Amino acid sequence: MGQTISSLWRGITYRGREGHYAFILHRLAGLGVLAFLVLHVFDIFLMAFGANAFNDFLALYTNPIARLAEVGLIFGVVYHAFNGLRIIIIDFWPATTVYSRQLWWLVVAITLVLTAVAGFFTLRPLFV
Ligand code: HEM
Ligand code: HEM
C-alpha cells in the first residue's frame, strides 16, 4: 500500500511542468470520456425497453450531481480533443515542439472558455 502511494506520488511529481501535466490530464480526460461512453451505451440500449424506461433513466441526468458531472464531461471532451490535436500537430511537424508549452496554454484557454459557456447552459436549469 505504502509502495503504491509512493509510486503514484512519484508519477505525479517526477517532472512537473506543462508537458507532464498535459499528459496526466489527457489520460484522465480520455479515461473519463471512455467511462461515460460505457454508461451512454447502456442508456441508449434502454430504448429497446420502450420510451418510459428510456425517459425515466434520462431523468437522472437532470439532478445537480449529474449536471456537475456533465460539466466535467464537457471539460474532458474539449480538453482531450484539443490537446489530442496539439499532440498530432507536434507529431507531424516536430519543429513545433519548441512551442509545445505555449500550445498547451492555448489548449487550456480554449477548454476553459468552451467549458464555461457550455457549463453555463448545463447548470442554468438548477438556478431558474
Ligand atoms: C451528454 C451529451 C450527449 C447526449 C445528450 C447524447 C445523446 C445521444 C443520443 C440521443 C443518441 C441516440 C441517437 C439515435 O440512436 O438516434 C446517442 C448515441 C450515441 N452517442 Fe451520444 N450523447 C452525448 C454524448 C456522447 C459522447 C461524449 C459520446 C462519445 C464518447 C457519445 C457517443 C455516442 C455513441 C457511440 C452513440 C451510438 C450511436 C448509435 O448506436 O447509433 N455520445 N447519443
Ligand atoms: C477529437 C477527438 C480525439 C482526438 C483528437 C484524440 C487524440 C488522442 C491522441 C493524440 C492520443 C495519444 C496521446 C499520446 O500520444 O500521449 C489519445 C489517447 C487516448 N484517447 Fe483520444 N482522442 C480523441 C477522442 C477520444 C475519445 C472520444 C476517447 C474516449 C472515448 C478517447 C480516449 C483516449 C484514451 C483512453 C487515450 C490513451 C491515453 C493515454 O495513453 O494516456 N479519445 N487521444
C-alpha 40 – ligand 1 centre gap (Å): 7
Span 35-49, average pLDDT = 98
Q: Is residue 23 part of a domain?
A: yes
Please give the tally of structural domains in the chain.
1
User: Is the separation of the CB atoms in 26 and 80 below 8 Å?
Assistant: yes
Cα 46 to middle of ligand 2, angstroms = 27
Instruction: Tell me the mean pLDDT in the region 106-128.
Output: 97
Q: Are 33 and 75 in contact (CB under 8 A)?
A: no
Q: What is the arithmetic mean of pLDDT over 14-35?
A: 91
35 lines ligand 2 (CB under 6 A): no
Q: What is the pLDDT of residues 55-113, one digit of tens each?
A: 999 999 999 999 999 999 999 999 999 999 999 999 999 999 999 999 999 999 999 99
| Helix boundaries (H) for 1-128 | 2-13, 17-45, 51-59, 64-92, 100-123
Find the 109 Cα to ligand 1 centroid distance in Å.
26
Of 36, 39, 44, best ligand 1 pocket probe by most atoms within 8 Å of the beta carbon: 44
Q: Is residue 88 part of a domain?
A: yes
From the centroid of its chain, how far is CA 123? 17
Q: What is the mean pLDDT of the chain?
A: 94
CATH number at residue 98: 1.20.1300.10
Render the burial of 41-52: b for 16+ CB within 10 Å, e for the rest.
eeeeebeeeeee
Q: Which atom of ligand 2 is nearest the CA belonging to 37?
A: 30
Specify the pLDDT at position 10. Answer: 77
The pLDDT-based confidence of 8 (bands split at 50, 70, 90) is confident
Q: Which atom of ligand 1 is nearest to the CA of 70?
A: 1
In a domain, 122, yes or no: yes
Residue 11 lies in a domain: no
Q: Look at residue 1 and tell me if it is in a domain.
A: no
- Measured CA distances, 119 to 9, 16, 60, 70, 101 (Å): 31, 29, 18, 8, 26
Q: What residues make up the domain containing 109? A: 17-126
Query: Which grid cell sits at 26?
Result: 489527457
Statement: residue 15 has pLDDT above 80: no
82 belongs to a structural domain: yes
